Amino acid sequence: MNASLFGATASILFSLWATNAARALDGAPYIHDPSTIMECEGKFYTFGTGGGGLISDDGWTWRPGAVRPGGGAAPDAIRIADRYLVAYGSTGGGLGGGHSGRILTMWNQTLDPQSPDFKYSEAVVVASSDGIEDCDAIDPSFLLDPTDGRLWLTYGTYFGFIRLVELDPKTGKRVEGNQPVNIAIDCEATALIYRDGWYYLLGTHGTCCDGANSTYNIRVGRSQTVTGPYLDQTGMDMLRGGGKLVVAANGRLIGPGHFGRMDLGEGVEKFSCHYEADLDRGGRSVLDIRALLWKNGWPVAGENFTGGTFVIESERSGYVLELTVDFVRMAGSRRGGFGGPGGAAGGRGSSSTNALGAGVSGGPGAGSGPGNRGPVGPVTPVALQTLAEASTNWPAGMMDVRLGDYMLRPHQKWAITAVTNAGGYLGSPYFKISLAGTDRVLAATGDAEVVTVPTFTGKPEELWRIDQLTDGTYRIMPKAVPQSKEPLALTAVGSSTPTLAKFDGRGDKARWNFKAP
Amino acid sequence: MLVQGFGVLALSAFQVLSAVPETAAPGVSPGNPGRGARDYTPEHPRSLAPYFTPATSSPKAPDKDGFLQRWLLLEPIRKPNRSNTVFTDTYIRNAFTTEYFSNQFTMVPRAGDKVTVGGQELLWHALDSSQFNIKLFRFADGLNKPTYGVLFWAVTVVDSPREQRDIRLAVGSNSASMWWLNGKEAVILSGDRRMVMDDCVSKRLTLNQGRNIIRGAVINGPGMSDFCVRFIDEKGDPIKDITVNSENAGN
């Protein structure tokens, strides 16, 4: 095995892939003020300011094509029963220089503009501002309260208050007699979400629309009643400017705003936003989708997985994914035993057999080393075992994997790289998972097990979907399992045994951590 | 969303904005927006109510959270800016140390006093805010004065029954501002600020027994402008055993 060649090749390819993976989505995700992403008949849709929006077949590669009439700004969308309700601000927000705004809602049976059922209902005004009052009716956002089915809408910008009104989920119109409630100041692009007894009000703070100089960032407060008060983690009311940071500029992306939540179930949540400037795309405003984590009852932005070289650790056992090969001893074996003064104690051996084999520093009392007295002679670093040293007797074909104690060994380190032109899923491309320094990749088998194959061919069973779960661990799933229609996830069926199984988010068996080797 | 998004996206609405002259901020936009546009507030009856009432002669205690609600406010000085992102520390130090009127850092005005800035006569108003914050946008709007691209001066007189050491002046402002206590710089809020209570806090300082003068200047391009000020102790709790008495002003 030519490890150095593989290493060099992998390094070059990784550079290319990493550049791609660090960008916010693929294709042409150019949009400002995106609505919450909706799935409709297998495709994903988001609408933006000015009309229109983006479509994606897989959630990773986006193109223009969504259709929303009415122009105006900053729409939102929600699915209610078998219809979609879309809201937008027809004016306001300084459009034309004023703060007289109107929020309108309209229905559609489908979001697919090619569908014969695609037809928006006549838009109706559900909230407004007169241009003088302390509110600017723009930036609407829906919440269908899962506890009682009531439909709420927040709106507003820096010009005064963020307000909350109630709509009729059957008509999309304002509930008769409903009066707006002030719930925040000094933010815009709000979104309401509900989780575990709490309502969360997310708002975008900072400056927009100034490219790489925009200071947009997303913050949050929470309340146990939908009408507030919404307090941040310090207890500061959002009516006094409070707000806990959810996501700010990162990587080469500046100015996140317009939060939209997607709950995919089974412990997977994502959120959409736009960045005011993607430095890799000329500083243009782009859509992004990121994992949504929950920490101590607060939403936190997950990191977009972009690949790298990792140890893949099982949350269940703490063991790591490794090639099923003979353990190869490293240089730098133990010198002496555990002895105390005088070195009388010697080595302890392993729990089952002596790790060094018969005759070497075996049982209690055999050692003669320095023990706690410190080293004798110079202390020099011990080199890590190389791939060449470890792989001498590895077979050439398919090889199994298992879980084992992490020992810094080459057969336990995985290079994970985004695969171009292989599609993706919400927010990410598919990845290949290679044994670091080799062409050998992780693959799903037809009997729903996981192995490694000598070379990457690009087959679906060699492509992996990596979703960060709400607790920060990861779910790892092959794009496809041969002869199986059911999505399966890498699962520690035993402490030391991985397999593929239907994902169960209730325990730790299918949760994984990526750690630096 | 915001109008500035139109600048980025080159949408049709931006073309409308492009025609907006002077203080408009097409293409950029203050996070506290007006979203970049100049003040297009439609014609409406002008009033300081319900945001302000004239200050009374009786001493006024801070509100329940310690916020100082009585201030002498100078009508806005025109200071056009297309965007609030220009408010760097250097910019605002220059802007606030420029002399706009005589004795600007020493005078304690009375209600009705006049100063002349750039040939324009501006009045001081002694007002009580109905809110915890002082809504400068509403102050200017209520007087039919410019609301965008402006610089405000504010002064208040705080009476303390005793010397209070190791307390801090806590300020939030939209947008940038600078504050002095008894003639010494206390705290500066640079950048395109949104108003957050206790956003920037001074180093430990001493409130004298008797009269203390707080002086502040707030600058804003487009968007609403306001501020909130209070004193807090070592634990961050509000100082409330003080009063504000505009009757003392100018004495």
Four-residue CA torsion sign, B181, B186, B191, B195 = negative
Give the gap in angstroms from C-alpha B60 to the nearest C-alpha of chain A.
Answer: 22
Residues B11 and B70 in one domain: no
The pLDDT assigned to B82 comes to 79
For β-strands A61-66 and A26-27, DSSP reports them as parallel
CA geometry: angle at A464 spanning A285 and A484, to 5°? 125
> At A181, is the pLDDT very low, low, confident or very high (cuts 50, 70, 90)?
very high
Q: Do A208 and B2 touch (CB under 8 A)?
A: yes
pLDDT, average across residues A257-262:
98
Question: How far is the C-alpha of B3 from the C-alpha of B12, rounded, in Å?
Answer: 11
Asked whether residue B69 is domain-assigned, the answer is yes
Ordered alpha helix ranges (H), chain B: 3-9, 12-18, 89-97, 136-142
Please give the model's pTM, rounded to 2 decimal places.
0.87
- The 8-class DSSP code of residue A391 comes to -
- Are A292 and A299 spatial neighbours (Cβ–Cβ below 8 Å)? yes
Asked whether residue A274 is domain-assigned, the answer is yes
- The 8-class DSSP code of residue B85 comes to G
Looking up tokens 């310690």, which residue turns up? Answer: B66
Q: What is the pLDDT of residues B16-38, one digit of tens each?
A: 222 222 233 333 333 333 344 34
The domain in which residue B62 lies consists of 53-248
The domain in which residue A78 lies consists of 27-301
Q: Do A132 and B44 touch (CB under 8 A)?
A: yes
Closest residue of chain A to B84, computed from CA coordinates: A207
Residues A436 and A292 in one domain: no
The 10 Å CB-count burial string (b at 16+, else e) for A428-448 is: bbbbbbbbbbbbbbbbbbeeb
Give the bridge partners for A250, in sequence order.
A253
Give the list of residues 6+ apart from residue A27 with CB closer than 8 angstroms, or none: A56, A60, A61, A62, A63
Residues B244 and B151 in one domain: yes
The pLDDT assigned to A137 comes to 95
Residues A279 and A313 in one domain: no
Q: Is the ipTM of this complex over 0.90?
A: no
Residues B33 and B103 in one domain: no
pLDDT, average across residues B161-166:
96
A94: left (phi over 0), alpha (psi -120 to 50) or beta: left
Nearest to B194 among A93, A236, A241 (CB): A241
Give the gap in angstroms from C-alpha A502 to the nearest C-alpha of chain B.
Answer: 41
The pLDDT assigned to A373 comes to 67
pLDDT for residue B48 is more than 80: yes
Looking up tokens 């002259």, which residue turns up? Answer: B21
Q: What is the pLDDT of residues B173-187, one digit of tens each?
A: 999 999 999 999 999
Q: Do A158 and B33 touch (CB under 8 A)?
A: yes
Q: What is the pLDDT of residues A331-344, one digit of tens each?
A: 776 655 554 444 44
Q: What is the pLDDT of residues A86-140, one digit of tens each?
A: 999 987 565 556 888 999 999 999 999 999 999 999 999 999 999 999 999 999 9
Across the beta sheet with A284-295, what order do the strands follow?
A253-265, A268-278, A284-295, A298-301
Asked whether residue A332 is domain-assigned, the answer is no
Residues B15 and B101 in one domain: no
Question: How far is the C-alpha of A202 from the C-alpha of A142, rounded, in Å?
Answer: 12
- The 8-class DSSP code of residue A342 comes to T
Q: Which of A348, A237, A319, A333 is nearest to A512 (CA)?
A: A319
Question: How far is the C-alpha of B113 from the C-alpha of B122, rounded, in Å?
Answer: 8
Question: How far is the C-alpha of B240 from the C-alpha of A288, rounded, in Å?
Answer: 47
Boundary residue ending a domain (A283, A301, A319): A301
Can you read off the two tokens belonging to residue A412? 């336990």
Q: Do B174 and A186 touch (CB under 8 A)?
A: yes
Asked whether residue A366 is domain-assigned, the answer is no
Residues B120 and B1 in one domain: no
Q: Is A276 at the interface with chain B, CB within 8 A?
A: yes
Q: Is A287 at the interface with chain B, CB within 8 A?
A: no
> At A481, is the pLDDT very low, low, confident or very high (cuts 50, 70, 90)?
very high
Q: Which residues in chain B are closer than 8 Å to A48, comparing Cβ atoms?
A: 9
The pLDDT assigned to B223 comes to 85
Nearest to B42 among A48, A132, A208 (CB): A132
Closest residue of chain A to B10, computed from CA coordinates: A50
CATH number at residue B152: 2.60.120
In chain B, how many domains are there?
Answer: 2
For β-strands B70-74 and A151-155, DSSP reports them as unpaired
- Are A49 and A73 spatial neighbours (Cβ–Cβ below 8 Å)? yes
Asked whether residue B70 is domain-assigned, the answer is yes
DSSP letters, A103-146, are: EEEEEES-S-TTSTT--PPPPEEEEEEESSSS------EEEE-T
Q: Is A27 at the interface with chain B, CB within 8 A?
A: no
Question: How far is the C-alpha of B239 from the C-alpha of B175, rounded, in Å?
Answer: 25
Looking up tokens 């709490």, which residue turns up? Answer: A198
Question: How far is the C-alpha of B181 from the C-alpha of B170, rounded, in Å?
Answer: 12
Give the bridge partners for A47, in sequence order.
A53
The 10 Å CB-count burial string (b at 16+, else e) for A483-514 is: eeeeebbbbbeeeebbbbbebebeebbbbbeb
Q: Do A98 and B222 touch (CB under 8 A)?
A: no
Question: How far is the C-alpha of B228 from the C-alpha of A235, rounded, in Å?
Answer: 17
Instruction: Please identify among residues 208-267 of chain A the ones whose CB lies closer than 8 Å to any CB of chain B.
Output: 208-211, 213-216, 236, 240-242, 258
Give the bridge partners for A97, in sequence order.
none
In chain A, how many domains are there?
Answer: 2
CA geometry: angle at A399 spanning A398 and A400, to 5°? 130
Q: Do A97 and B20 touch (CB under 8 A)?
A: yes
